[in-house]
Chains A and B, each alone.
Chain A
């Protein structure tokens, strides 16, 4: 076995260089492509502050304001807030996951000129705390999915 002895050739270095370039590109893409223009979701304050976002499909994240959830013919309606600004959201389908008032949510849709965010995708965003239920047996159930 010729351990260490190699037939010297220039060509293999091209493949190695290509691999390095690809990896670097992937790393750079992951780093830069995901910041700036590709912010994963907007906050309510950002949405309200930028009129140019109206009419564009985007994601909005925040907390579901307590006692703001109601169901109507258009879907489920609630207020989403970042602690500073509130935006009314009307979602065309039932909430998914462990959707609860006072917890985080992520919606995807369009912010209309009437100040209502009409979404067709409503997801739950939860934090990184892990606690037992306050009362034993009180465990959130998964919302029924309508579609």
Chain B
């Protein structure tokens, strides 16, 4: 007899609905209510996806830092799985921010790419955390890999403030930050609303993705019984363990 399909957990459903609603609201405000920028024009609307992607990436790498420290202190693989999931999402969001930034730069700056300090350090950030994801698999066993990854996950975080402050420390083509800045600049209230909704939408969706990914990693590690199996042979694993 096959185990019944489990319905999605309540927190996941809440996150999914929340993400869907805020995404919808963000889309409406970003595309229909917020004005185009006086200098940049319609292309500026890419800010509503480029900036949340970048911020979510920073948040994910902060999660990697915390979970890596926790793993090294507790040697509990739960923390390593959380760190890995956060690292994966962070790398994806960094790559997305780079692509969206390029699409934004072409019509406004006039080029797809420049090697200015902001863009260079962002690429470095991407490479460092891509390395973080690879290091885990290089160990002889699960725990060695987790330990090495934790070290990289902690040290790699130094790149996050370097990327963020690159526009302050050095001359760049990329403009300084408007919101998260030592010297904030004005933003039209409708634009700020669209940005806020987009950040919330990205965060809720990201949180949902992390929860599901951590569960999937736990199943793979054998720490969780299989959750959504189609008809097939039963696989007996340790019961009762939390992801």
A: residues with CB less than 8 A from B are: 1-4, 6-7, 9, 12, 15-16, 19-20, 22-24, 26-27, 30-31, 34-35, 39-41, 61, 95-100, 103, 106, 121-134, 136, 138-143, 145
B36 adjacent to A133 (CB under 8 Å): yes
Residues of A within 8 A of B121 (CB): 30, 34
Min CB distance A80 to B, Å, is 15
A126 adjacent to B159 (CB under 8 Å): no
Our count of residue pairs bridging A and B at CB distance below 8 angstroms stands at 161
A96 to B109, CA, bound (A): 7
Residues of B within 8 A of A131 (CB): 37-39, 186, 188
A126 to B135, CA, bound (A): 39
- The reply to whether the CB of B14 lies closer than 8 angstroms to some CB of chain A is no
Nearest A residue (CB) for B178: A128
A130 to B128, CA, bound (A): 32
Residues of A within 8 A of B106 (CB): 97
A128 adjacent to B162 (CB under 8 Å): no
Residue of A3, A16, A19 touching B143 (CB-CB under 8 A): A3
Min CB distance B35 to A, Å, is 4
A-B interface, 10 closest residue pairs, ranked by CB to CB distance from nearest: A96-B110, A97-B110, A132-B35, A130-B187, A128-B178, A128-B185, A40-B171, A128-B175, A133-B38, A34-B117
A129 to B108, CA, bound (A): 14
B128 adjacent to A124 (CB under 8 Å): no
A134 to B37, CA, bound (A): 10
